[in-house]
Structure 1
Amino acid sequence: MTRRSLAALAAIGFLGACQTVSSTPDPFKATAMEEAGVADLLLESGDPGAAVRFFSERLAREPDDPAHRRSLARAHARAGALAEAASGYRALVASGHASDDDLIALGFVEVRLDRWAAARETAGALPPDLDTPRAHMLAALLADNARDWAAADAAYARAAQLSNNAPDVHNNWGVSLMARGAYAEAARRFEQALAADPGWFVVTNNLALSRALAGDFGPPRGGLSEAEKAIILHNQARVAESRGDAAMARRLYAAAVEVHPRHYPAAATRLAALDRMAAP
């Protein structure tokens, strides 16, 4: 595995698995309590673009307020504007107003930007005895990147303990184990995540992938939509194809095409390619 092994799983070709906040006549006329409520809504469940606009206006009106800069950085991160988010958090650091949570958020943004050296520098600025789930999750990701599996497992274990076994911790831990080739242990982590959040399709997909990578191409579990079943069958087929099992891949692609409620070009295209390769 390379240093980007966690992202490299996507190279096989796997497919993944809010209510929009409308504009108000003048949000700046709201009371302080109403403003706080609007801000929380925008940051947690609103339209990411609306949040960026809202906090950009706030920061323009009150450029010295670190709370607005922090909220704008969070909004940028949620909107996928990672470079802007990193700049916002770094401005907080430079101003002396960055909290430990801000540093952790910056570290996660830098990881998403593939700026591993910067993320390590950011993590190094945290108190060495900081004992929070997100601090340990950041440490786990950095250890994964360094291929320090013992440190990664220790950090994931502590994050799980502190977060009462939050499903996202076990999902990330499972992805780490899957990238190392520890498929059985990865499957156990995904199962634990699903026990806490049975409807999380991303984890269901990851569980199917971990089993397929170990040679188990069993059918998707119950309770999925037809489209979700088709996605899992397609991803299992990609694994089978990468393992050189063309017959299994063809069967799984065909099943994905059959079960999908509409035309499924991703599976249909691969099935046609395998059929052409098998033709005399």
Structure 2
Amino acid sequence: MKCKSLSCIALAALALALSGCASTAQQNGVNSDLYGPLGDDGSSLAYGTAFPVASPGEAYRNGEAALRAGDADRALFEYLRGLRMERRPQADPLYRVGIIHHGRGNQDLAQNAYRWALEIEPSHVGAGTALGVLLLQQRDYEGAERHLTPIANGRNSPWQAHNALGVIADIRGEHSLAGSHFEQALSASPGTPLVLNNLGYSRYLAGDLPGARHSLRAAVSANPNYELAWRNLGLVYAREGDHETAIEAVARNGDRAKAYNDIGYISMLEGRYQDAMGFFEEAMRLSPAYYITASENARNLDSLLRRNGGANRPN
């Protein structure tokens, strides 16, 4: 893996140093410090006293059990404890440490753990996929694509890799390519609500409203509480001119004022100015909380109406 940044060079150097002198460090009692930057929140003493282990494997099994039980603190401790017992760093537990930090929003720590795992085992699919997804979240699209493309091209590629590449393709306006990635993600993981939502939104962007509606309905059927999918389904209904159904979809959480404001904004963007004004007025009537937002939208719309002679924009 080529990397010219100082942080990546330092990480590579650290990994090389670890592989050469981990056993000496362990004998000198400093091996535990090597993983200190990945953090265990000072819980080592309590967990170590209550749950003694005889091997790294036992610590990793404890970590898996803790993750299944939803105890991320214990899991993080166990993975780090297992690593400290090893003669040299191991890719998979470092990847697990990265997953925990990623889930907590500690992106820098997660990225360090993923990159370290990949320095040790460049072909580690989990670490490569997770790093690609993290880079996508950080809007480093080229970096994400660089990590994810070879993984997606391999055999039995994880659905997360195709899903992330689909999102990147949509961002670039390559909706046909995006759809292909989402379809491959669904082949690997049928019925996944996240992928169904992304496929539906991709089809919406491409102007395939029936296809978008089909995928988004499947997403909310798989997860009736998926608010983003409901909102995207509302966008489709609004684009089709079925405003009442659009309002019902967007207002699933009960906030009808927000729904009217959102559908009004969509209508304004699409040039249906008279319709949009009615939605903004209804949002202001329903909730004082939306008065400022909706009234600002209405003022902007009023200037558009004057510019267009008070009519909707021609299709």
Name the amino acid aligned to 1:74.
Answer: I
Residue 213 (1) aligns with residue 239 (2): yes
Alignment-derived partner of residue 29 in structure 2 = none
Distance, in Å, in 1 between the alignment partners of 2:257 and 2:107 is 32
Q: 1:132 to 1:201 in 2, by over 3 A?
A: same
Alignment-derived partner of residue 7 in structure 1 = none
Q: 1:245 to 1:147 in 2, by over 3 A?
A: closer
Distance, in Å, in 1 between the alignment partners of 2:210 and 2:236 is 7
Alignment-derived partner of residue 27 in structure 1 = 47
How far does the alpha carbon of each residue in 1:50-79 deviate from its partner, in whole angstroms, 9 at most, with x for none?
A: 75x973896488453545532332233223
Alignment-derived partner of residue 16 in structure 1 = none
Q: 1:230 to 1:81 in 2, by over 3 A?
A: farther
SS at match of 1:264: helix
How far does the alpha carbon of each residue in 1:85-116 deviate from its partner, in whole angstroms, 9 at most, with x for none?
A: 22321111012276212211111111112222
Alignment-derived partner of residue 188 in structure 2 = 162
Alignment-derived partner of residue 100 in structure 1 = 125
Q: 1:60 to 1:34 in 2, by over 3 A?
A: closer
Q: Which runs of 4+ in 1 moved over 6 A?
A: none
Q: 1:209, CA displacement in angstroms?
A: 1.4
Task: Tell me if structure 2 keeps the 8 A contact 1:110–1:116.
Answer: yes
Alignment-derived partner of residue 231 in structure 1 = 258
Greater fraction of residues in helix: 2
Distance, in Å, in 2 between the alignment partners of 1:240 and 1:198 is 26
Compute the TM-score of the two structures, normalised by the length of structure 2: 0.64
Where do 1:127-206 residues align within 5 Å? 128-206=154-232
SS at match of 1:218: helix
Distance, in Å, in 1 between the alignment partners of 2:248 and 2:131 is 37
Residue 88 (1) aligns with residue 113 (2): yes
Where do 1:104-119 residues align within 5 Å? 104-119=129-144
Distance, in Å, in 2 between the alignment partners of 1:275 and 1:138 is 36
Compute the TM-score of the two structures, normalised by the length of structure 1: 0.71
Q: 1:58 to 1:162 in 2, by over 3 A?
A: closer
Where do 1:9-20 residues align within 5 Å? none
SS at match of 1:235: helix
Query: Percent of counterpart pairs with the same letter?
Result: 19
SS at match of 1:176: helix
Distance, in Å, in 1 between the alignment partners of 2:301 and 2:165 is 46
Task: Tell me if structure 1 keeps the 8 A contact 2:203–2:209.
Answer: yes
Alignment-derived partner of residue 264 in structure 1 = 290
Aligned with residue 120 of structure 1, among 127, 130, 145: 145
Counting matched residue pairs gives 248
**Mind listing any 5+ residue stretches in structure 1 that lack a counterpart?**
1-22
Where do 1:40-51 residues align within 5 Å? 40-42=68-70
Name the amino acid aligned to 1:101.
Answer: G
Is the radius of gyration larger for structure 1 or structure 2? 2
Query: For the aligned residues, what is the CA RMSD?
Result: 3.6
Q: 1:122, CA displacement in angstroms?
A: 0.9
SS at match of 1:224: helix
Q: 1:201 to 1:142 in 2, by over 3 A?
A: closer
